[in-house]
Structure 1
Amino acid sequence: MFLVSRPECFDHNILSEKDRRVSNLDPDYKYCDAIREGIFSNSPNWQGGGWYRFHHPAGSMLAMSAPGDRVCGTDAPGWTNSTLPDNMGESKAIEICFQWDGTICFWKNTGAATNCGTFFVYYLENTPDCRSRYCGST
């Protein structure tokens, strides 16, 4: 049996808010994934830049396609346009886009994704604007 020895597979934060899912179309939720003062409130599970795993009910992974404007409990939802690592224990750099005002990649962040076997973890930075948040999907 092969065990993943990457530290981020064992030491990471959890993003589990149900309003973070791409299926959340409620415009009344206004959160951001940034530790700063802004228009919206900081997301309850956001701890600043670091390794994160998406977990039910938020979904099981970072959204892999543009989810649309004003979903996931924010105005500018974050998703990745990168492929994820195929092999267990593999990590790779990813680009993360934030959709805003009809532009699917208005703001960008870089991050990383690690394949932990049965799940992925992501290195996520504070979002570039406090109207943006990382979106979960399944």
Structure 2
Amino acid sequence: MPKYQIPDVSFVKKLTSNEWASKVIPISNTKQQHPKNIKQLPPHEQKDSLCTPSDCFENVESSSDVMNINNNKNNNKKYFKVLLISVGVLLILGVLASVVMGIYALVYINKTTVASTTVTTSTTSTTTTFLPPQCYSYTIINDTTRLITAGSGYASDYGLFSTGTLVRFFGAGGTQIATFPPGGYHCTATYTGWYAGALPSFSNTVTGIMCYTPGSSSCTLYNTISVTNCGTFYVYNLIDPPNYSYIRYCTV
């Protein structure tokens, strides 16, 4: 295989790989050229058009280098697109966040305005009801013989309440006068007394009819009494019943 010799020159024109191959001269067929035979370019053109042989070979790009450059360009384009998309998404999120914050601020301002302009006044009124004097001063009667469950007898209330007496029935002997006819021969008497009027409301006093019966008749005899509602009990202003033997106020 013949040997090739690269001309010994200081500067040559930039050539491609194919041009370099065509310029190679076999040693056996050519004579070494003197540097003076090589055309010299003006100094202002040598910078761009001349290079040393080693530099010129280094500037020849291989196909793999070209592919790498193209790949780098494509990657740069992809990165740039991703960057643009990211920036766009961030801008959209920023706009949405601004809208949400604006709506929240408007709602908060409206609530604050309503709260500051609306004043609710709560007034608690306390009503004190005073009980009448008879609820504090009375005579207590606790007598089990007055119960409607007690049998007949010979007791009588005539003359017992001649001046009018405030009475509260209390304890095992009953807490109030019966409000229905118990029939004759109860309460240790013959004529049984029961209250036929309406009972009063709290702290009020009413006047009603007392009836007395010796048998099936519900109101053979009667008189008038007053009743006061003291909350948890009643106070009766009792007077003497009609002048009959064995007549009483009966309790339950």
Q: TM-score, normalised by structure 1?
A: 0.82
Contiguous gaps of at least 5 residues in structure 2: 1-126
Deviation of 1:4 after TM superposition, in Å, equals 4.2
Matched to 1:50, the amino acid is: T
Q: Compute the displacement of 1:5 (Å).
A: 2.9
The one-character-per-residue Cα deviations of 1:87-125 (angstroms, maximum 9, x if unpaired) are: x21000010000123221011110111000100011111
Q: Which amino acid is 1:32 matched to?
A: S
Partners in 2 of 1:59 and 1:2 — Cα distance?
Answer: 30
Q: Which residue of 2 aligns with 1:20?
A: 146
State the Cα distance separating 1:15 from its structure 2 match.
2.0
Does the aligned pair in 2 maintain the 1:93–1:111 contact within 8 Å? Answer: yes
The percent identity for this pair of structures is 27
Alignment counterpart, residue 97 of structure 1, candidates 211, 220, 239: 211
Larger helix fraction of residues: 2
Task: Evaluate the alpha carbon distance shift between residue 2 and residue 33 of structure 1 in structure 2; reply closer, same or farther with a 3 A threshold.
Answer: farther
1:18 to partner: Cα distance: 0.5
The offset of 1:7, in angstroms, is: 1.4
Provide the rounded CA distance (Å) in 1 between the counterparts of 2:128 and 2:240: 33
- Hey, what's the Cα distance between the residues in 1 that align with 2:169 and 2:128? 23
Give the structure 1 partner of residue 154 of structure 2.
30
Quote the residue 1:40 is aligned against: none
If the length of structure 2 is used for normalisation, what is the TM-score? 0.46
C-alpha distance in structure 1 between counterparts of 2:218 and 2:228, whole Å: 24
Select 2:237's aligned residue among 107, 123, 134: 123
d(CA) in 2 for partners of 1:113 and 1:13?
Answer: 14
State the 4+ residue runs in structure 1 displaced beyond 2 angstroms: 1-5, 46-49
Q: Give a deviation string over 1:24-55, Cα, whole Å, max 9, x none.
A: 12x3x3211122xxxxxxxxxx4542111111
Contact 1:79 1:135 in 2 (8 A): yes
Query: Does residue 55 of the first structure (1) align with residue 170 of the second (2)?
Result: yes
Secondary structure of 1:8's match? helix
Aligned length: 124
Amino acid at match of 2:213: Q
Q: Which protein has greater RCO, CA pairs closer than 8 Å, 6+ apart? A: 1
- Contact 1:14–1:54, Cα closer than 8 Å, also in 2: yes
Find the counterpart in structure 2 of residue 73 from structure 1. 188
- Give the structure with the higher percent strand: 1
Shift of 1:6: 1.1
In 1: Cα distance, 2:245 partner to 2:128 partner: 41
Q: Contact 2:212/2:218 (CA < 8 Å) preserved in 1?
A: yes
